[in-house]
Structure 1
Amino acid sequence: MRALKYILVAFSFGILFSSCEEGSGDYDSSKPKARGTIGEIILVIDSTKWAGPVGDELKDIFEADLPGMIRSEPRFKVNRVDPRAMTRMLKMSTNLIYVTTFDDKGGASQVINSQFSKASKDKAEADPSLFQLRMEDEYARGQEVLYLFGNTEDELVANLRKNKQRLINLFEVRERGRLEKIILARKNTAALHEAETNLGIKINVPASYQVVKSKPGFLWVRQPTPTANRADISLFFYETDYVAEEQTFPENIVKLKDEITKNEIFGDPEDPTSFMVSEKQIPPAFRNMVINDNFTTEIRGSWKTNNISMGGTYLGYLMVDEKKGKLYYMEGFVFYPNEVHRDALREIETILLNTDVSWTQEQGS
C-alpha cells in the first residue's frame, strides 16, 4: 500500500533556516543520505521542557506503549538531545523533531528559536493553531524534519493533544514506507501464487519467508531463520464467506481467530495439544479503518500455545470485501522470548497492509 503523507497544517510560514539556502526539501545529490534505524526519532528539546507538560504530551504521543503487548514497549525509539549538543552527525538523522515555545528564554530553547524570523513568530502569535512545520531532506536525503512550536507551553500542549493521532500517523506511515522498500525489494513468488490460487488475493511477502502450509482458504508462511537479532515471524491468511455484520464484532473476530489457529497453527506439529490460542488475560486492542474501500478491523494482542510451551504477540486484520462477498482474516505473530517485538510487528504491519483482497483471478490473467 502506497505510503500516504499526512500534512497537518498547510501554510507558507516563511521560516528562515540557514540550510534553506542549500535547497531544503529539494533533491540534492550533494547531501549525505539520512541515517537511522526504523522507528528511531531524534527529539531536540530543552531538558526542562521535556520534564514538564510539553514533555508529557510528547511522551504520550511517541513513547506510549503499543497496545496488546505482553510487556511495555514504546511505539517509537525516542532519543532526546539538548539543542546545544546537536552535532553534524545527529543532524543527518532520518527522523528529527525540534520542539520549542517562543516564550522560553532558556539557552537551549533559544538555539531553536533563533532559527525563526520575527515575521514567522508574528504569524504564530496571530494564529495559535499554527504549531508545526515539516521540512523534507533539510540536512540529508530521505530525511523528515518536524518543527513543533507554540507561543506558550499551554498553547503547544493543546495543539499536541488535539493532533496526537495525526502526529503518530505521520511517522508510522513514513516508517512503514521506508521498511517496505527494504523488505519487499525481493518478493516470494511461491507464496504469491499460493495466495492467488487458494484465497483469490494478492500478497507481497519477502523472499526470505517460506510456505509452511497451503490449502483452499488458508495459507501460512514463516521467516524460517530466526536468530538472536531476528524474530521468528509467521503470517497466515484465511478466507470465508461474509454473511453478516456480526462477523466483524470484536468478540467474533477473536472467536474466528481461535477457530483458525486451533485447526491450523501448532507450536509442535507432532503435538495436537500445542495449537495456538489468544491470551485472554491481556485484552486485545481493536481499531477500525478503511483500506482500499474495504472495512477493516485491526487487532493487536498476545498469544500462547494451548500447552503453554510458547507465546508472543500478534497483529491481525479482518477485511470485508462486500463485492466478492468474502471475509478475510490475516495475521502475523511473533515468537521472540525476552526481546523487543516492536520492530517485528512493524514488519508484519508493512507486509499485511500490502495485501490486496480485492484482487481477482481475471486481473492476474
Structure 2
Amino acid sequence: MKTFLSIIAGFTIALSFYSCAPNSESANSSKPKARGSIGEIIIVIDSVKWNGPVGDELKDIFQSDIPGMIRSEAKFNVLTVDPRAMTRMLKMSNNLIYVTTFDDKGSASQAINSQFSKESKEKAMNDPSMYSLRIEDEYAVGQEVLYLFGNTEEELIKNLRKNGDRLANLFEVRERGRLEKIILARKNTAAASEAKKNLGIQINVPASYQVAKSENNFLWVRQPTPTANRADISLFFYETDYTAEEQTFPANILALRDSVAGKHIFGDPEDPTSFMISEKQIPPAFRNMQINDNFTTEIRGSWKTNNISMGGSYLGYLMVDEEKGKLYYMEGFVFYPNEVHRDALREIETILLNTDVSWTDEGS
C-alpha cells in the first residue's frame, strides 16, 4: 500500500475519478469477492472527525435527502467505522471510504496516515487541490476504495465542498452498475416487444415484471408479487409528438405526467375516482441532463390516488428525440407503505436509464 501511495504524484484528480481501470477480476481471482448491500458505504474515520465539520460535509454528500419525497430518506446507507477497529471482514466491503487529515495526531487518524508514504504526504502538502485517491479491488474483487485526505481539516473541507457532487455520482454510477447485473440478468422479452410495437423504443425490464396494460403510445409494466420485503414497483412509458420547447418546461412536464397517469393508472380499476395524481404538498424536484445525446429532464416526487387510498414515490424522465420528432415520458412509481423507498427508486433508475428511445428497426 505504501508503495502504491508513494506514486500518487503521477496521478491527477480527474484521472482518479474517471480513468477506465482494466477488469481486474481475473488478475485478482485469489482475492475474495467484495460483499455488502446495494447503496451501502462504509466510511473509515475518527469519530471526532465524523462528528465535526469534516463529518458534516461527508453527511451532506452521502446522506443528504433524496429530493422530492415527503419522508426524509438518505441517498446512501452510510456506516462509520473507527480505523483501529477495521477487521478482515469489513475490509471486504463493496464500498470503503478512508478519511483523514495529515495534521491529525489522534491514534485513529494515524492508523490511516501510516498507509501514506512520506513522499505522498509531501506531494499533498505542495498541492492543496490533491485530496483523493481511488483504488479498485484493493482487498476484494469488485471493490471500490476511496481515500479522502488533506493537510488540514480546512483544506479537506474546501475540496469536499467543491467536489461533493462528483463524489456522490461516483458511487451512484457504481451502484447502478452493480444492480444492473443483478436485476437485468434475465429480461422480459414480452414487455420489450410491446414497447417496440407501441412506442418505437427499446426497454430492458427484469423478467419478474409483467405487462399490466399496453396500447398505442402507452405501456404499463409491474412487479406483480410485492411482499413485506419487496416494494410494489410499476413502470409506465408514454410517447407523443414533440412540437415545442415549452413541452420541456417543469409545469408542462408535471401536467403531462398527471394527464397520462390520470387516464391510465388507477389504485382500484373498479373505482374511477382512484386515478393517480401528483402530490403537491412537497414540490417535485427537476434536473436537466443529456442521455444518449437526447435532452432529458429528471423529475422526482410523490404521488397519491385521487381518493387518497394509496400513495408513494416516483422517478420519471422526459426525453426529447428531435430527430424522430418525439417526446417520451417514462416513470417508475413505488407503493411501499411505511418502508424505505430508496432501494426501489434505485431499481427504477437503473431500469429507466437502460431505455433507448432512439431505437429503430432498421437492419433488424
TM range (shorter): over 0.9
Q: 1:71 maps to what in 2?
A: 71
The AA in structure 2 aligned to 1:72 is: S
Q: Name the SS of the counterpart of 1:60 in structure 2.
A: helix
How many residues matched? 346
Q: 1:225 maps to what in 2?
A: 225
Deviation of 1:362 after TM superposition, in Å, equals 1.8
Q: Name the SS of the counterpart of 1:173 in structure 2.
A: helix
Deviation of 1:9 after TM superposition, in Å, equals 3.1
Aligned ranges 1:306-325 → 2 under 5 Å: 306-325=306-325
Whole-angstrom distance in 1 between the partners of 2:281 and 2:71: 12
Deviation of 1:104 after TM superposition, in Å, equals 0.2
Kept in 1, the 8 Å contact 2:25–2:142? The answer is no
Q: What is the percent sequence identity of the aligned residues? A: 81
Give unpaired runs (5+ residues) of structure 1: 1-6, 12-23
Q: Name the SS of the counterpart of 1:358 in structure 2.
A: coil
1:230-259 deviations in whole A, cap 9, x for unaligned? 000000000000000000000000000000
Give unpaired runs (5+ residues) of structure 2: 1-11, 17-23
Q: 1:46 maps to what in 2?
A: 46
The AA in structure 2 aligned to 1:187 is: K
Whole-angstrom distance in 2 between the partners of 1:306 and 1:25: 51
Q: 1:289 maps to what in 2?
A: 289
Q: 1:299 maps to what in 2?
A: 299
Q: 1:197 maps to what in 2?
A: 197
Q: What is the TM-score when the length of structure 2 is the normalising length?
A: 0.94
Whole-angstrom distance in 2 between the partners of 1:148 and 1:45: 10
Aligned ranges 1:130-279 → 2 under 5 Å: 130-279=130-279
2:94 is the counterpart of 1:94: yes
The AA in structure 1 aligned to 2:156 is: L
Kept in 2, the 8 Å contact 1:8–1:166? The answer is no
Whole-angstrom distance in 1 between the partners of 2:25 and 2:215: 49
Q: Name the SS of the counterpart of 2:315 in structure 1.
A: strand
Deviation of 1:26 after TM superposition, in Å, equals 7.7
Whole-angstrom distance in 2 between the partners of 1:199 and 1:31: 46
The AA in structure 2 aligned to 1:172 is: E
Deviation of 1:276 after TM superposition, in Å, equals 0.2
Whole-angstrom distance in 1 between the partners of 2:68 and 2:98: 30
Kept in 2, the 8 Å contact 1:26–1:137? The answer is no
Cα 1:40–1:215 shift into 2, 3 Å: same
1:157-198 deviations in whole A, cap 9, x for unaligned? 000000011001100000000000000000000000000000
The AA in structure 2 aligned to 1:352 is: L
Q: What is the TM-score when the length of structure 1 is the normalising length?
A: 0.93
The AA in structure 2 aligned to 1:219 is: L
Deviation of 1:361 after TM superposition, in Å, equals 2.3
Deviating beyond 6 angstroms after TM superposition, the runs of 4 or more aligned structure 1 residues are none
Whole-angstrom distance in 2 between the partners of 1:139 and 1:306: 52
Whole-angstrom distance in 2 between the partners of 1:55 and 1:280: 33
Q: 1:9 maps to what in 2?
A: 14
Deviation of 1:25 after TM superposition, in Å, equals 8.9
